[in-house]
């Protein structure tokens, strides 16, 4: 093994050399866990292990590619190992063996938008249901699938707790039928169906176990129940399971990940060996002190303390109290300009926030300062409408059962096929027990009167089928853009935004070309699967922009300079978590702060506003904030405040004397134990928030105004903003006074506006 390349320390070498049995590496933030993982695989190759018997599972496609690149630098055999995400692995398995469960190999993968559209359609066709409740049902369906529960099982789990349990079961069952009808699986199904396949069909499991002699899993603290079961099944025969993770960075409990998988690893596998990595290579000692001070207040964790040989820098940590939220955004923007002039690239700076709603004010300030930025959590390339429209033609071609894609494009570009005609076609398909594709192709036999109206679309369908079978993926995409009518429609449009949309569609050709260079023998179906499985973390690039992101979005990333903003109680931690009083949720919230701190390499700014504007159902105006309890746990000093002494209206001092530091014993409720979050029945929780009583603040409310009509705003409208110019409404969230508009402006990215506030500034140009 090339020690010069990997530069492993003594503690890292131990797990790398331990190649037999089950091994857990508890790797603190910035301790070189990826280096250990890749070195271990390289060592296996050096020991003569067949690369096709090595499996490495990560949580992003980007991480998987980087892992293969690193290993390939040490061994030519590195390119032959399988490195992929859980979802990608399951998709590959189902493409080959999914027919055992009744799925065609070219099944479509539904993303979040597809899922929402499918549930909305289900609600429209079910008497007594309202499509406006789509998000409610989506949330419960997702929760059920995270715990691998069928509609009937989820009903049994929730019937005494959730009033709508029966209706959830009915919608969930109908949604599953809709997926099956479309030969489609959603992201959760990829895991569920793969587990169903392996647990119920031993012959398939046996084949795959024979391929997986050595299994490696990165970010093991983020595995949910079904992912844990999958790796347990696959590693059962040879028993070689190597997992790396950090329970202090477990921040996805809300979507089913179980911290117990790493904290209680030896309970699951009694013969497992455990190694700890505590030396940090990323941050300054001062930054690590803050991280250690915060996370030590969590009870449910492996005891460890991060340390580093990096040089000390007392200026690397700064706390900033701002009078208001606008002052906070102004402070951050001015610091970014200062640092950029000092040589820190924009791409090495990040503004981290707990909730996306805080991004707007930073976007406005960065724009005024002329600072390039990108908001993560907004619309990525493959989520743009025009790109999804184009890909729908591809999905229809490779999976003719995908009725959802057909409905999306049958009248786009416009072909005079209205909603009533589409509804009638769906009814004909159901009545004749046919797919929508077959119904349209054979319409002259089913209802000849409809053929003239559908002929142009039928021509496109047949043409694409023929070309796809006789051309490579790149040629097909180029042909599809032309024959579908997308190129002609957008190029002839007088809308200036359509020029950009056409460029985005043409960018698909480049995307396919790059994919084929990396995967020479790939098919069009492989490309569609790859694009469907891209995650938010894969969107980060090395381009010159400041990143504005939620803490969840930057997990696994690092930046030279980090600004953690909005560090106030009710924002970070969230009000819901404070009010809920669940210690398990508060510990996860604290881990989120720990993740935020440890993203910083050289400089960390912790920022908060003494006053913040808020708009709720009951109150609109400026309110006094309370400094985040997590900031108090960091135990900052007055010197770190750069002379900005704390004010009495902080409701707490920097030394933490407004908080009760006594230990508080709690009994964990049944929901967390029942779902296996791993908390013992009785545990000790660190600092319980107990602020001194404060005078009730005087709230400043705006004078009553005539109600603003926000119903005029529609998705995909072209609007003109007095300040930012023309844009397109990409999405609308909420209703009435709480409606939020997501508007994409050319050269400025996607901005979020409160519809009530923005209405006077927006002019509708085109419906």
Task: Exactly one of 249, 348, 397, 529 is catalytic; name it.
Answer: 249
Q: Is 34 noted as a catalytic residue in this protein? A: yes
Residue count (the chain): 767
3-class state of residue 162 by DSSP: coil
Q: Is 158 noted as a catalytic residue in this protein? A: no
What residues contact residue 242 under an 8 Å CB cut-off, 6+ apart? 15, 22, 23, 25, 37, 40, 214, 215, 216, 217
Q: DSSP E strands: which ranges in 500-619?
A: 546-550, 559-564, 600-615
Question: What six digits make up the tokens of 326?
Answer: 């606008």
Closest Cα partner for 190 from 224, 220, 240, 222? Answer: 224
- SS3 letters across 17-76: HCCCCCEEEEECCCCCHHHHHHHHHHHHHHCCCCHHHEEEEECCHHHHHHHHHHHHHHCH
- What is 672-723 written as a DSSP string? HHHTT----SEEEE--B--PPP-PPPPPEEPPP-PPP--TT--TT-EEEETT
Phi (first) and psi of residue 766, to 5 degrees:
-150, 135
3-class state of residue 751 by DSSP: strand
CA distance 86 to 77: 22
Task: Exactly one of 114, 218, 225, 569 is catalytic; name it.
Answer: 218
Task: Exactly one of 33, 360, 365, 629 is catalytic; name it.
Answer: 33
Q: Is 236 noted as a catalytic residue in this protein? A: no
CA distance 224 to 145: 11
Sign (positive/negative) of CA torsion 300, 301, 302, 303? negative
Task: Exactly one of 34, 397, 640, 668 is catalytic; name it.
Answer: 34
3-class state of residue 369 by DSSP: helix
Chain centroid to Cα 471, Å, comes to 34
Report helix, strand and coil shares of the chain as percent, to nearest 5: 50, 15, 30
Long-range CB contacts (within 8 A, 24+) of 474-483: 474/509, 474/512, 474/513, 474/516, 476/394, 476/397, 476/524, 477/394, 477/508, 477/509, 477/512, 478/509, 480/390, 480/393, 480/394, 480/397, 481/390, 481/505, 481/506, 481/508, 481/509
Q: Is 50 noted as a catalytic residue in this protein? A: no
Contact 767, 750 (CB under 8 A): no
Contact 462, 473 (CB under 8 A): no
Q: Is 33 noted as a catalytic residue in this protein? A: yes
For residue 573, cis peptide bond before it (omega within 30 degrees of 0): yes
Closest Cα partner for 244 from 3, 63, 57, 421? Answer: 57
Q: Is 73 noted as a catalytic residue in this protein? A: no
Question: What six digits make up the tokens of 219?
Answer: 């970010």
For residue 413, cis peptide bond before it (omega within 30 degrees of 0): yes
Closest Cα partner for 527 from 408, 404, 390, 407? Answer: 390
Task: Exactly one of 114, 188, 189, 219 is catalytic; name it.
Answer: 219
Task: Exactly one of 401, 599, 629, 742 is catalytic; name it.
Answer: 599
- Residue 726 bridge partners (DSSP): 720
CA distance 66 to 41: 13
Q: 149: which DSSP letter?
A: -
Residues with catalytic function: 33-34, 218-219, 249, 599
């Amino acid at each position: 093994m090339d020690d010069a390349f990997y530069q492993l320390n003594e503690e890292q070498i131990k797990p790398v050399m331990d190649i037999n049995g089950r091994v857990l590496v508890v790797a603190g933030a910035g301790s070189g866990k990826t280096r250990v993982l890749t070195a271990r695989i390289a060592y296996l190759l050096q020991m003569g292990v067949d690369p096709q018997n090595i499996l490495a599972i990560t949580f992003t496609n980007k991480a998987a590619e980087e892992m293969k690149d690193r290993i390939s630098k040490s061994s030519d055999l590195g390119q032959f190992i399988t490195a992929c995400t859980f979802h990608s692995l399951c998709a590959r398995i189902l493409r080959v063996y999914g027919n055992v469960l009744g799925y065609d190999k070219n099944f479509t993968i539904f993303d979040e938008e597809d899922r929402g559209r499918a549930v909305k359609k289900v609600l429209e066709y079910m008497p007594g249901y309202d499509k406006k409740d789509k998000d409610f049902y989506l949330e419960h369906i997702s929760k059920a699938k995270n715990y691998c529960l069928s509609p009937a099982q989820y009903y049994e789990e929730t019937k005494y707790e959730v009033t709508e349990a029966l209706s959830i079961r009915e919608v969930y069952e109908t949604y599953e039928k809709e997926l099956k009808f479309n030969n489609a699986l959603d992201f959760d199904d990829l895991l569920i169906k793969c587990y169903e396949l392996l647990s119920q069909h031993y012959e398939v499991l046996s084949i795959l176990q024979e391929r997986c002699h050595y299994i490696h899993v990165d970010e093991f603290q983020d595995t949910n129940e079904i992912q844990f079961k999958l790796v347990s099944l696959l590693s059962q025969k040879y028993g070689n399971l190597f997992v790396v993770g950090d329970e202090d960075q477990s921040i996805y409990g809300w979507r089913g990940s179980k911290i117990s998988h790493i904290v209680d690893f030896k309970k699951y596998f009694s013969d497992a060996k455990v190694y700890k990595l505590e030396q940090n290579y990323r941050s300054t000692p001062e930054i690590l002190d803050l991280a250690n001070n915060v996370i030590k207040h969590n009870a449910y964790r492996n005891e460890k303390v991060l340390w580093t040989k990096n040089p000390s820098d007392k200026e690397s940590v700064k706390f900033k109290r701002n009078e208001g939220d606008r002052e906070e955004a102004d402070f951050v923007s001015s610091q970014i300009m200062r640092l950029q002039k000092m040589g820190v690239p924009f791409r090495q700076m990040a503004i981290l926030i707990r909730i996306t709603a805080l991004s707007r004010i930073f976007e406005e300030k960065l724009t005024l300062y002329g600072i390039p930025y990108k908001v993560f959590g907004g619309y990525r390339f493959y989520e743009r409408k025009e790109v999804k429209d184009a890909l729908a033609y591809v999905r229809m071609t490779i999976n003719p059962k995908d009725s959802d894609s057909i409905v999306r494009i049958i009248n786009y570009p416009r072909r005079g096929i209205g909603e009533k005609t589409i509804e009638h076609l769906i009814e004909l398909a159901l009545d004749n027990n046919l797919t929508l594709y077959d119904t349209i192709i054979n319409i002259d036999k089913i209802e000849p009167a409809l053929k003239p109206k559908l002929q142009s679309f039928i021509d496109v369908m047949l043409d694409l089928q023929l070309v796809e079978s006789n051309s490579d993926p790149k040629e097909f995409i180029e042909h599809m853009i032309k024959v579908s009518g997308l190129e002609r429609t957008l190029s002839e449009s007088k809308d200036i935004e359509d020029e950009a949309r056409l460029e985005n569609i043409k960018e698909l050709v480049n995307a396919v070309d790059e994919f084929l260079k990396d995967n020479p023998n790939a098919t069009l179906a492989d490309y569609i699967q790859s694009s469907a499985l891209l995650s938010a973390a894969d969107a980060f690039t090395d381009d010159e922009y400041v990143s504005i992101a939620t803490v969840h979005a930057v997990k696994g990333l690092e930046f030279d300079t980090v600004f953690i903003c909005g560090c106030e109680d009710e924002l970070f931690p969230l009000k819901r978590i404070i009010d809920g009083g669940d210690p398990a949720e508060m510990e996860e919230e604290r881990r989120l702060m720990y993740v935020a701190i440890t993203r910083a390499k050289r400089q960390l700014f912790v920022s908060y506003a003494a006053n913040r504007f808020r708009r709720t159902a009951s109150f609109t105006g400026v309110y006094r904030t309370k400094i985040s309890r997590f900031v108090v746990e960091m135990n900052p000093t007055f010197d770190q405040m750069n002379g900005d002494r704390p004010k009495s209206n902080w409701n707490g001092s920097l030394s933490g004397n407004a908080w009760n530091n006594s230990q508080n014993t709690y009994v964990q409720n049944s929901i967390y134990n029942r779902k296996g979050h791993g908390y013992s029945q009785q545990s000790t929780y660190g600092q319980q928030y107990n602020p001194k009583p404060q005078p009730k603040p005087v709230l400043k409310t705006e004078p009553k105004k005539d109600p603003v009509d926000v119903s005029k705003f529609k998705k995909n409208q072209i609007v003109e903003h007095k300040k930012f110019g023309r844009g397109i409404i990409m999405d609308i969230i909420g209703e009435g006074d709480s409606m939020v508009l997501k508007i994409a402006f050319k050269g400025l990215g996607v901005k979020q506006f409160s519809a009530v506030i923005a209405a006077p500034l927006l002019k509708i140009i085109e419906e």
